[in-house]
Amino acid sequence: MCGIVAYVGHRNACPIIIKGLKRLEYRGYDSAGVALLNGDLNIYKKKGKVSELEKVLEHLQVNSTIGIGHTRWATHGEPNDVNAHPHYSSNKELAIIHNGIIENYASLKTELQARGHQFLSETDSEVFIHLIEDVQSNNDCSLEEAVRLALSMVVGAYAIVVISKHDKDMLIAARKGSPLVIGIGKGEFFLASDATPIIEYTSEVVYLNDHEIATIKKGELSITNIHATKQTPYIQKLDLELDQIEKGGFPHFMLKEIFEQPKSITDCLRGRVIAANGHLQLGGIRQYANKLVQAERIIIVACGTSWHAGLVAEYLFEDFARIPVEVEYASEFRYRNPIIREGDVVIAISQSGETADTLAAIELAKSKGAIIFGVCNVVGSSIARASHEGAYLHAGPEIGVASTKAFTGQVTVLAMMAIIVGNKKGTITDSVYHSLLFELENIPAKVEQALKNNAIILEIAERFKDAKNFLYLGRGYNFPVALEGALKLKEISYIHAEGYPAAEMKHGPIALIDEEMPVCVIATQDNTYEKIVSNIQEVRARKGRVIAVVTEGDEHIKKMAEYTIEVPATHESLMPIVSVIPLQLLSYHIAVLRGCNVDQPRNLAKSVTVE
Ligand code: G6P
């Protein structure tokens, strides 16, 4: 949600910032802007994609060795040139970029207006920079001190970078709740919402912590906290390669990420599962492993696709570990009065590790004594750091807004967790344990096999691309897959789609079925197979168009469905990792055929850092 990039050093800042903003565009793409210092502090901003801003800058050739840039996902104020970041202070001597939300901006704005400040935009961020300006002039202090004082007056979440007309080698940055990474080069610094704009320049980074303020001045980085106490920067090496954040010959990141899944799942399993030795271990879960084994219940908090992975985990933990599981939308959990007992276990699932609601939900659970396990993809992310322990997906950067390889990675990690707990508790037999390990090892090859359906899926997409509605049905482990298939389609093709447990169809959705309605049924062989065959018949009796995802060799459903897509057999608990693949491809192809922007669907953002 909003991407920020800033640079100070010896190179021309503008191209570095623009390139960085393009890498961060998945975070927001309704407008973009930069502030550059060459004599004056000049702001250039434009509604639309970063490429629109680039066109403006092309003619100007602004040379500056310092600058800040922003790509926006609107919260306060519609997407237009004026509301785009950066924002000036009244005297145009300061400018800010901001990711997050200032909750008390309205009252601050009223006070500042009473003191003569005039605002151009409707944003909360403009209030922030006026506040800093106001505090500085009232206290006659340094800019760093003014930022610190202003931060103590704002309520909300932020990652900010401030630039001043008077200091061509100083940037001030701060964070609370929204991510900020500082890349350390030779005599130069790169600041960004995540490491992707930084990786091609340096692999040494510092992740700013909440309530920290970073001042870069005359080639030196110093970090202080909100009380002005000096902090020691913890410099980390980035484990990220440039080719991981490029499209690698694919037309879209989403397609690249779909096809990467055999590899991303292999990376997720690497070193953790060695079936021949009966070895299964998650290195990140040690000290608190017993808490998980002894848990009387598990609460899972997540949003979006991660929430769907959480639903699969509910089945996994209940099946293998016999622990009751509740799966909660993080946004609902945090705003009711949830019952959390000391020692309860909370699993937070998040690709980005930055989703504001999930982060707030775990802070709430922690404050009530729960033990938090994070299942995140982004290493060093806020949720990963706020958790007691956890396991990374190791799926590599996911850039397409619609999540694909993160989902399969999440289910893989959660399956490993449930199997470990089941084994320790003795709630699964040794033979089930060993057979699950072999199945896990074979999953990447089965995903590879499922990807071979691409051509038939393209054909199905051509047939149904103009449908107005889609229904997705599944039972048992495939019910969350139905939800995920429907979400993928909605997100990127803007076709209305619903996912339902197949048996629930009779309680409502069946009324929607007519000869126009594509019904995608995930009907792989498991203990609900006979039941779902009956559900297919019910759809057919109402002339619905059945697209069935079936287990390889299933001749029975082939006779009933208009289209069948075969996937290899696996243990039913691991089937979501395989059966979701055709649904990802189907939504991708339909979106492309409809001319939609697959990687940057309208109104969405990859990382939702506002509640
Ligand atoms: C956004 C993204 C989804 C994602 C959800 C949760 O809505 O567009 O793809 O599933 O956030 O994100 P997280 O990073 O917490 O998994």
pLDDT tens digits, 48-79 = 989 999 999 988 888 899 999 999 887 777 88
Distance CA 246, CA 254 (A): 11
The pLDDT of residue 609 is: 67
For the Cβ of 608 lying below 6 angstroms from any atom of ligand 1, the answer is yes
Cα–Cα separations (whole angstroms), residue 598 to 93, 498, 536: 40, 20, 30
For the Cβ of 355 lying below 6 angstroms from any atom of ligand 1, the answer is yes
The pLDDT of residue 334 is: 83
Which are the contacts of 586, defined by CB distance < 8 A and separation ≥ 6?
A: 457, 460, 461, 485, 488, 489, 520, 547
Distance CA 169, CA 65 (A): 8
Active site residue 606: yes
The pLDDT of residue 1 is: 65
Q: Which mean pLDDT values do the consecutive 10-residue runs of the chain (611 residues) have?
A: 92 96 84 93 93 90 93 81 93 95 93 95 94 95 96 94 96 94 96 93 94 95 95 89 83 96 97 96 94 95 97 98 96 89 93 93 94 94 94 94 96 98 97 98 98 96 96 96 98 95 83 89 93 91 93 95 97 98 98 93 73 68
| Distance between Cα 490 and ligand 1 center (Å) | 14
Cα–Cα separations (whole angstroms), residue 255 to 299, 393, 406, 520, 593: 33, 19, 13, 21, 14
Counting from 1 in the atom list of ligand 1, the atom nearest the Cα of 303 is 6
For the Cβ of 352 lying below 6 angstroms from any atom of ligand 1, the answer is yes
pTM score, whole prediction: 0.84
For the Cβ of 196 lying below 6 angstroms from any atom of ligand 1, the answer is no
Counting from 1 in the atom list of ligand 1, the atom nearest the Cα of 306 is 16
**Looking at residue 208, what DSSP letter applies?**
P
**Looking at residue 516, what DSSP letter applies?**
T
Q: Is 149 helix (H, G, I), strand (E, B) or coil?
A: helix
Please write the tens of the pLDDT for every residue from 18-35. Answer: 999 999 887 777 899 999
The pLDDT of residue 508 is: 80
For the Cβ of 403 lying below 6 angstroms from any atom of ligand 1, the answer is yes
CB of 485 within 8 A of CB of 520?
yes
Q: Tell me the best of 607, 609, 611 to mutate to test the pocket of ligand 1, counting ligand atoms within 8 Å of each CB and taking the most.
A: 607
The pLDDT of residue 74 is: 77
Residue nearest to atom 13 of ligand 1 (CA): 350
Q: Is 318 helix (H, G, I), strand (E, B) or coil?
A: helix
What is the residue whose two structure tokens read 């145009």?
92
Query: Per this entry, what is the length of the chain?
Result: 611
Counting from 1 in the atom list of ligand 1, the atom nearest the Cα of 352 is 14
What does residue 200 show for φ and ψ, rounded to 5 degrees? -80, -5
Counting from 1 in the atom list of ligand 1, the atom nearest the Cα of 401 is 8
| Distance between Cα 221 and ligand 1 center (Å) | 33
CB of 526 within 8 A of CB of 546?
no
What does residue 337 show for φ and ψ, rounded to 5 degrees? -110, 75
Counting from 1 in the atom list of ligand 1, the atom nearest the Cα of 304 is 10
Distance CA 32, CA 162 (A): 16
| Distance between Cα 610 and ligand 1 center (Å) | 12
For the Cβ of 350 lying below 6 angstroms from any atom of ligand 1, the answer is yes
Sheet holding 40-47, edge to edge: 40-47, 31-38, 66-72, 3-8, 189-192, 181-184, 204-207, 236-237
For the Cβ of 90 lying below 6 angstroms from any atom of ligand 1, the answer is no
CA 58 remoteness from chain centre: 32
How many distinct helices (H) and strands (E) make up the chain?
19, 27
For the Cβ of 121 lying below 6 angstroms from any atom of ligand 1, the answer is no
The pLDDT of residue 38 is: 87
Residue nearest to atom 1 of ligand 1 (CA): 606
Residue nearest to atom 5 of ligand 1 (CA): 304
Residue nearest to atom 3 of ligand 1 (CA): 304
Provide the Cα torsion 580, 582, 588, 591; round to 10°: -110
For the Cβ of 377 lying below 6 angstroms from any atom of ligand 1, the answer is no
Cα–Cα separations (whole angstroms), residue 338 to 334, 335, 370, 534: 8, 8, 12, 39
Active site residue 559: no
Q: Tell me the best of 328, 334, 351 to mutate to test the pocket of ligand 1, counting ligand atoms within 8 Å of each CB and taking the most.
A: 351
| Distance between Cα 378 and ligand 1 center (Å) | 12
Q: Is 476 helix (H, G, I), strand (E, B) or coil?
A: coil
The pLDDT of residue 600 is: 84
For the Cβ of 14 lying below 6 angstroms from any atom of ligand 1, the answer is no
